[in-house]
Structure 1
Amino acid sequence: MKRELGTSGLAGGPEFDCDDRFALPRTFVGAVAESVERKPFVVQVEGDSMAKARICGDSYAVVNPAEEILDGDAALVKVGSRYVIRWLYWKPNGGCELRAASEKFPEMSLDAAQLRGAIPSVLGKVTWTFSRPLVGL
């Protein structure tokens, strides 16, 4: 079963200047919500903070706001004016810790009050990544 997945973003999340749509297998996406604000979307990855987790720069990440994020899941999070993909670990006090796959990037600790505010916000679980194949050398 395939679902149409746009790259137009979601309310309060990343904004994209395109109308590209393409079908992905449901296994790439996970649960699909009826609400437009919680529909899956795709972002292009920049940087190497999660390369050891096979989320590499210039690849694409499917982000699903409707999927439950469990400890250790990769998630797209807005921190200030930046969007980052990190492993997310929930704290007993309602906050969370964000960890990169690379030791070069420090852990970020967010308390429950920060998560309830506009900055930062957890936009969704990264359910799949894909990239173009490299050209032979």
Structure 2
Amino acid sequence: AKTSVSTDGKTLFINSLETSQVTLNITVKDLERIEAYGQSVVVTSNNFDVKYLQLFLGQSATAKIKTTAGSLYTIVKDDAVLKLNGTADQSTMIASNMKNLKLADFASLKSESYASESIMEAEQNAMVLAK
């Protein structure tokens, strides 16, 4: 199969290598992580009200997510694009290309942005050493 959907506990994995668009309607409860790769497009049809949400996007995946989250953690790599609507109490955004994050309709009480996971870890280590 060129398109696969699988779940591992609270994580939904979507991967598509199709040359044409495939539409999947998936109903989930209590999801904490979405990982999308390849040419996949993930769109929430309703507001996703969760305590914790992790979004991992890579390759050419696109996600349009409407959420009310306590804590939001995103990693956007390669040519992936994330369009966020909604709010989060706390958000951490890691993106190799910040222009691929569309955040005009998103607000977070406390937010941090990094160009890579290693930069985030280096800054966190520096803060610990400075104390």
The structure with the largest strand share of the pair is 2
Q: TM-score with structure 2 length normalisation?
A: 0.27
